[in-house]
Structure 1
Amino acid sequence: MYALLLAIIYVAFISLGLPDSLAGAGWPVMHGDLGVPVSFAGILTTVIAVGTIVSSLLSDRLTRRFGAAMVTTVSVALTATALLGFSNSSTFWALCLWAVPYGLGAGAVDAALNNYVALHYSSRHMNWLHSFWGVGASISPFIMSYALSGGGHWTGGYRIVGIIQVVLTVLLIVSLPVWRKVHPPLLEHHEDAPPMSKPLSLAATLRLPGAPQILIAFFAYCALESTLILWSATYLVVDRGVAPATAAAFASFYLLGITAGRFLSGFIADRIGDRGMIRYGGLLVALGVVLIVLPLPTNAVALAGLVIAGFGSAPVYPAIIHSTPTNFGRENSQSVIGIQMASAYLGVTLMPMLFGALSGWLGLWLLPAYVGALVLLMLVMSEVVNRIVDRRALVDATA
């Protein structure tokens, strides 16, 4: 039963990543068919981000009331419905309408499933599961490409992924008894369950020692990752004179570095620990940034720096999530992870746009400094949390 549930969760993480790259892959065609400017992609992603933030903040209350299995199942069903809605949309505003349930479903399942894994599985599985998310995110552009080939339509890409999500929803419904048997829900008061308590409000969660600092650290990490994904190729072309095709390939290598790095991190995460993975990952990202900015006559070092930054980024997200029950208590982890997800979506939504505005004013040369500042902020805030947790443990030990 344990192995079966773990396999289901791995499939769920692949499914989580599948829709994330569809809009980016299809938008060059979609905006023309819908008769809207290229820039309207930002409106669509903002609507989705607002939905994910709202459902992430509600995840603690929902999960305590219905359990992680049910929240995951309903959220995937919402996502499937939204994707099939996308596949039948012929106007931009219809897409925005379907983006609401898509965002709500994506945020809730992300928070619930990450907390479930953090509570019940090792750091090794957390890294491998997020690597499988990368597999899903890497597959979806190929699905969109297949849908567009031979004169096809972008709606076909959404329809394929929507059908996959429907199949996953059925699988999750069938597997509900397995979740209850392997890890009984909190309401049953089994011995491994976190003690029951009322859902924490946003204000109460923010008053937990170290909570504001970990939110800033998570915000900074997600901001640097999304900024590099969006802007690294443009930086290499405009500021370093790299050929566009080469820059695009290495920008994709950053994502591949994250996916491969999480797979490799799974083999060492339990030995090094979450703190070590965050520290070493952040230092690797910093090394990659230094290599990117070095004024050398060859661009090979800068391109290698981007790949190294991808490997460094790999373990940070899983380690921050996995350390949450330890840092803030199992009874508080769902609330904290829900707000962490919200802070992540804020970072992903706002910080690449802020860099775009700053680069338009100062120039694209700013990218390494911008990312470097985010790395430093992440590392400093993470270490502050560690000191707070260690100080609390010392007080508890001497009490």
Structure 2
Amino acid sequence: MATYFLIIIYLAFISLGLPDSLLGAAWPVMQSDYEAPLETAGLLFMIIAAGTIVSSLASGAILKRFGTGKVTLVSCIMTAGALLGFSLSPSLVWLIICAIPLGLGGGSVDAGLNNYVAAHYKAHHMSWLHCFWGVGATLGPLIMGQFITGQTSWRDGYLVVGGIQFALVVILFLTLPLWDRVARSSKGAANEDQGNAEHLMAVEADSSVKPLQIKGVKLALVSFLLYCGIEATVGLWGSSFLVNVKGISAAAASQLVAIYYAGITIGRFVTGFITFKVSNRILIRGGQITALAGAALLLLPLPSGFSFAGFMIIGLGLAPIYPCMLHETPVRFGKKHAQTIMGYQMAVAYTGSTFMPPILGFLAAYSTIGIFPLYLVIPAAAMLLFSEKLNVFLKKNGLKENYS
């Protein structure tokens, strides 16, 4: 039953990825229809991100009160309704209004599903979970592209994706009783690691300790902020760097950025198999070193072909980091506080992806987009540093390697 139920969770994560890339794909046409300034897309993105951050921060209390199944159901209803609202919006004001539930719906379900899988399934399922997010993020622009290149409107693209979300709502409603049943019958990979028992008992024994007061949590939060900032920065500014600095055509540059995202998706699929033999911690470290090497390659004055290699290396390096860090949450900090800490991690992650790319744009406006590789190398090195500091701390406090 747990395996079949996992398929439902995978479908939920595909639906979570579907709306994430729709706005960017549709905005050139939407901008013309609304006669809006180019930067309006940035405003909508910020509103969606703000809603996601708020719901991620509140997800710990909400999930404890209502449970993952009910929160996921309500969040998907909000997301589906918001997408339907986008398809019907007569003005920019309505787009802004619909952007609020779109963001709020995404944060809680993201934190809830990540914590549910971390608590009740093994590490390879977490990697595959985020692989399916990549499937959704890739399908979104493909679906929208079919409508904006034909005789139909971008509104139909939003309507179709909203319909997919409503179909998931029906599935979630019908399977709602299974959530608690699977949670009771499943054993999380973190609980199977007996070598970590003393550490987890020590963390959970003191109920007066708040999640942010647990030692090591802040180091983990910084790592999440830097990771998502790097991932979003490459996606937003990679094409501009290749065109303006490396002299690559816009079409080739956009294809390379698509390959970068495909590298993350494929890398996470492969990582799911590697986790059978290699611990999360080793995969995190290896991914961070690989991503740093790819960013450093872009710094070197080499022919454009090496830039292709650099982007691919960055994508493959980033692939295991995020899902493996998420899966380590209950192992690092105890299952008692894992749900709340997971929400904090989601909020900080979205903060990084929201603010780091615009900061590069601001700096590039006063200098050049040529600073792009350096802007990646510095946070990549910092992420590796903070992650290793956390590993040293956990080792000193009795947390052994987790080979789940």
**TM range, smaller chain:** over 0.9
Q: SS of the counterpart of 2:210?
A: helix
Matched, 1:282 2:288: yes
Equivalents in 1 of 2:399, 2:308: separation in Å? Answer: 45
TM-score, normalising length: structure 1? 0.93
TM-score (norm 2): 0.92
Q: Deviations over 1:174-198 (max 9, x none)?
A: 0112222221399xxxx99x99x99
Give the C-alpha shift of residue 151 in structure 1: 2.2
Which residue of 348, 354, 357 maps to 2:359?
354
Q: Secondary structure at the match of 1:150?
A: coil
Q: 1:346 to 1:185 in 2, by over 3 A?
A: farther
Moved over 4 A (4+): none
Which of the numbers 306, 316, 321 marks the counterpart of 2:311? 306
Deviation at 1:352, TM superposition (A): 0.3
1:49 is aligned to 49
What amino acid is the match of 2:151?
A: G
Residue 295 (1) aligns with residue 301 (2): yes
1:261 aligns with one of 258, 267, 278: 267
1:114 aligns with 2:114: yes
SS of residue in 2 equivalent to 1:151: coil
User: Do the aligned partners of residues 72 and 293 (structure 1) sit closer, same or farther apart at CA in structure 2, a change above 3 Å counting?
Assistant: same
Task: Write the distance in 2 (CA, Å) between the matches of 1:308 and 1:384.
Answer: 24
Partner amino acid, structure 1, of 2:375:
Y
Determine if the alignment matches structure 1 residue 171 to structure 2 residue 171: yes
User: Tell me, what secondary structure is at the counterpart of 2:336?
Assistant: coil
Which residue does the alignment assign to 2:127? Answer: 127
Asked if 2 retains the 8 angstrom alpha-carbon contact of 1:282 and 1:313, the reply is: yes
CA distance in 1 between counterparts of 2:343 and 2:399 reads 28
For residues 133-156 of structure 1, what are the alpha-carbon distances to aligned partners after superposition, in whole Å with 9 as ceiling and x for unaligned?
A: 101110011111122233211111
Distance 1:31 1:100 in 2: 19
Residue number in structure 1 paired with 2:141: 141
Contact kept? 2:14, 2:133, Cα under 8 Å? yes
Cα–Cα, structure 1 residues 185 and 41, in superposed 2: closer, same or farther, change >3 Å?
A: farther
Q: 1:172 to 1:84 in 2, by over 3 A?
A: same
Following the alignment from structure 1 to structure 2, what is the Cα–Cα distance between the partners of residues 332 and 185? 21
Contact 1:56 1:107 (C-alpha < 8 Å) held by counterparts: yes
Deviations 1:219-255 (A, max 9, x none): 0000000000000110011111112221111111110
Which residue of 1 is the match for residue 251 of structure 2? 245
Matched, 1:232 2:238: yes
Contact 2:56–2:108, Cα closer than 8 Å, also in 1: yes
1:180 aligns with 2:186: no
Amino acid at match of 1:44: L
C-alpha separation between the residues in 2 aligned to 1:225 and 1:31? 26
2:397 match: secondary structure: helix
Which has the higher mean CA deviation after the structures are superposed, 339-348 or 285-294? Answer: 285-294
What letter is aligned with 1:217? S
Q: Note if contact 1:67-1:185 (Cα within 8 Å) is conserved in structure 2.
A: no
Aligned partners of 1:123 and 1:274 also within 8 Å: yes
Report whether the alignment pairs 1:213 with 2:250.
Answer: no
* RMSD between superposed Cα atoms in Å: 2.2
> Residues of 2 paired with 1:129 and 1:385: CA distance?
25
The residue identity in structure 2 corresponding to 1:302 is S
Alignment partner of 1:5 is 2:5: yes
The equivalent of 1:156 in structure 2 is 156
Q: Pairwise mapping of residues 372-391 of structure 1 onto structure 2 (< 5 A)?
A: 372-391=377-396
- How far off is 1:388 after superposition? 1.9
Secondary structure of the equivalent of 1:176?
Answer: coil
Tell me how far apart the structure 2 counterparts of residues 97 and 374 of structure 1 sit (CA, whole Å): 34
Q: Secondary structure at the match of 1:260?
A: helix
1:54-133 to 2 correspondences below 5 Å: 54-133=54-133
Structure 1 partner of 2:196:
none
Q: Which runs of 5+ in 1 are unaligned?
A: none
**Greater shift in the superposed pair: 106-115 or 8-17:** 8-17
Q: Report % sequence identity.
A: 44
Tell me the CA shift for residue 34 of structure 1: 1.2
Look up the equivalent residue of 2:325 and give its one-letter code.
Answer: I
Cα contact 1:293–1:302 (8 A) shared by 2: no
**Rounded Cα–Cα distance in structure 2 between residues aligned with 1:270 and 1:376:** 27
Where 1:183 maps in the other structure, the secondary structure is helix
Asked if the contact 2:290–2:317 (Cα under 8 Å) also holds between the matched residues in 1, the reply is: yes
Paired residues of 1:48 and 1:100 also in contact (CA < 8 A) = yes
* Structure 1 contact 147–154 (Cα < 8 Å) conserved: yes
Instruction: Kindly provide the amino acid, as one letter, of the partner of residue 67 in structure 1.
Output: G
Name the structure 1 match of 2:195.
none
Look up the SS of the partner of 1:242 in the other structure. Answer: coil
Number of aligned residue pairs: give it: 386
Counterpart of 2:112 in structure 1: which amino acid?
A
Q: Does 1:318 align with 2:323?
A: yes
Does the 8 Å CA contact 1:87/1:159 hold for their aligned counterparts?
Answer: yes
